[in-house]
């Protein structure tokens, strides 16, 4: 899983989670923290990208994007916008929600 903090079209920060062993039900129990001034909260979003590293006979180690979720105040997805607003309002606690990959 790759997490990117994005301002319009430029990436401000990238973080990666630890690799998971191949499994149909992937769950990430990691917390990622980044400092964000509240005045920028309406222009910035988080892009979560789920990737798989291929283990085929001919091509090994190539990353394949399985899906993305965008979490931000101006997100098209209502669930993602609500998630973003809860994170902004509760800066000192973890906010956990499921997101659909697109």
CATH code where residue 14 lies:
2.60.40.150
Confidence (pTM): 0.77
Number of structural domains, the chain?
1
Confidence band for 75, pLDDT divided at 50, 70 and 90: confident
Residue at 85 is within a domain = yes
CB 86 within 8 A of CB 58: no
How confident is the model over 80-98, as a mean pLDDT? 88
pLDDT of 31: 77
Range of the domain at 87: 1-18+37-102
94 located within any domain: yes
In a domain, 23, yes or no: no
Residue 50 to residues 17, 43, 80, 88, 91, Cα–Cα distance (Å): 10, 23, 16, 23, 25
26 part of a folded domain: no
* Residue 27, domain member (yes or no): no
Residue 27 has pLDDT above 70, yes or no: no
């Amino acid at each position: 899983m790759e997490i990117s903090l994005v301002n319009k079209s430029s990436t401000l920060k990238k973080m990666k989670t630890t690799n998971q062993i191949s499994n149909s039900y992937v769950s990430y129990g990691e917390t990622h923290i980044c400092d964000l001034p509240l005045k920028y909260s309406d222009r910035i979003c988080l892009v979560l990208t789920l990737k798989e590293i291929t283990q085929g006979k001919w091509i090994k180690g190539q990353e394949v994007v399985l899906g993305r979720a965008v979490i931000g105040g101006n997100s098209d997805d209502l669930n993602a916008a609500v998630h973003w607003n809860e994170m902004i309002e509760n800066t000192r606690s973890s906010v956990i929600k499921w997101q659909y990959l697109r």
